A and B are shown apart, each in its own frame.
Chain A
Amino acid sequence: MVVKRVVVGAHYGLSDWLAQRVTALIMAVYSVILLVVFVRGAPLNYGVWKDLFSQGWMRVGTLLFAVSLAWHAWVGVRDILMDYARPDGLRFALQVVTILVIGAYLGWTVQILWR
């Protein structure tokens, strides 16, 4: 027998679940690429380091990583807060702090990359 399930609600559960996985893959790919660059690249000094982060692909790639991290961290930290933070007022306050921290991280990242 086929059970017809009527899906109700805002659907953010599924999209968060999917976003968590897509952003994880983006960060995993970036991590592996960065590892290869480090292992195969020239010994690290200021010139090499500065050159690496002045390349367009590196800046955009790092920004994609940062945006993925922001989204991923929001879903993850919110899940943790929903499980443990009581009462609701404290949870709400911590969620606001989390959003502020994520926003600050993103702003700082842009500032570092396009200085």
Chain B
Amino acid sequence: MSSAAAKKPRPKYLSLTALLFEIRLPASAWVSGMHRISGALLFFPFAAWLLYLLDTSLASERGFQHVKVDYLGSPLAKLGLIVFVWAYLHHFFAGIRFLLLDLNKGIELVPARRSSYAVFAVSLALTAFIGWRLWS
């Protein structure tokens, strides 16, 4: 048995702490994982929440004012809105990246890493911008 294999306990099982603190995933893996998490969040609860907002705001003038002033004026709703905006933007840009990868665009290691960082940069920057506009 080689000495390198003897030092580390084997077999190594994947766990949440291992994924977060021991194994360094490449940026493209984080884009993919966040694409899943954002997609799940968009399906539930955000789709239901948006349908509720659309329903209330279209039902009557009072409903519209309630959504616009009272409801979306509260800090908690704004926080929810910002998480939604991030999830939508990340899912959007990561999805476009996947579509381009399907067309064999940017599949080499360096451009694939670069586009991963671009997905995070663009979606987070736009989320910050929209969050700033919401709060000011």
Interface of A toward B, CB cutoff 8 Å: 21, 24-25, 28, 31, 44-46, 49-50, 53, 69, 73, 76-77, 80, 101, 105, 108-109, 111-112, 115
Contacts and interface: CB of A to CB of B under 8 A. Distances in A.
B49 to A, nearest CB: 11
B39 interface: yes
B96 interface: yes
A28 B96 contact: yes
A40 B21 CA distance: 46
B37 to A, nearest CB: 10
Nearest to B102: A21
Given A77-B40, A80-B36, A105 B47 contact: yes
Nearest to A77: B43
Contact of B58 (A50, A76, A77): A50
B99 interface: yes
Given A76-B43, A105-B47, A108-B51, A49 B95 contact: no
Interface in B33-74: 36, 39-40, 42-44, 47-48, 51, 54-55, 57-59, 61, 64-65, 68
B120 interface: no
B58 A53 contact: yes
A109 B58 CA distance: 12
Given A73-B43, A77-B43, A101-B44, A49 B58 contact: yes
User: Interface SS of chain B: helix, strand, loop or mixed?
Assistant: helix
Contacts of A49: 57-58, 64
Contacts of A115: 58-59
A105 B51 contact: yes
B64 A76 contact: no
A112 B64 contact: no
Contacts of B42: 73
Contacts of A53: 58
B54 A46 contact: no
A80 B102 contact: no
Given A21-B102, A108-B51, 16 more contacts: A25-B99, A28-B95, A46-B65, A49-B57, A49-B58, A53-B58, A73-B42, A76-B40, A77-B40, A101-B43, A105-B47, A105-B48, A105-B51, A112-B51, A112-B58, A115-B59
A112 B43 contact: no
Nearest to A84: B36
